[in-house]
Amino acid sequence: MKKQGEKLFDRSVYNIILIHTARAWERLRLTQEHEEMPLDNISSTEAIEEVSTEIINSVIIQEFLTHRDGSIWDSSGYGCSDAYIESLAIKIIVTEFLND
């Protein structure tokens, strides 16, 4: 049982989040001038992990990890976990890495 304020973690879900975050990172990279992100390839892996950790700690993902109820995606407005994860990844990457 989790304590109040304690975040749940599931390695399988985190791995899925990592994949979708990396895909979002790459799609954004292709839209940048010279197709380059502000971080080199090695640093970008750490950034992708940071974004993925932020996503797994988000309210919707924590709600899913707590209840394991797939209907959570309907209430998020994204229809499925993939769309939610990638939209949140894009929002975080743009805000934290692409906006100067």
Mean pLDDT, the chain cut into blocks of 10 residues (100 residues total): 80 96 96 91 93 95 89 76 93 92
Give the H or E element holding residue 76.
helix 72-76
Query: What is residue 42's predicted lDDT score, i.e. its pLDDT?
Result: 85
Query: What is residue 79's predicted lDDT score, i.e. its pLDDT?
Result: 67
Per domain, the residue ranges of the chain are: 11-98
The residue behind tokens 């990279």 is 29
- How many C-beta atoms surround the C-beta of residue 64 within 10 A? 22
Tell me the C-alpha distance between 37 and 39, whole Å: 5
The residue behind tokens 């940048």 is 32
Query: What is residue 91's predicted lDDT score, i.e. its pLDDT?
Result: 97
Query: What is residue 28's predicted lDDT score, i.e. its pLDDT?
Result: 96
Annotate 62-95 with DSSP letters as a single string. HHHHHH--TTHHHHHTSSSHHHHHHHHHHHHHII
| Contact present, 69 and 5 (Cβ < 8 Å) | no
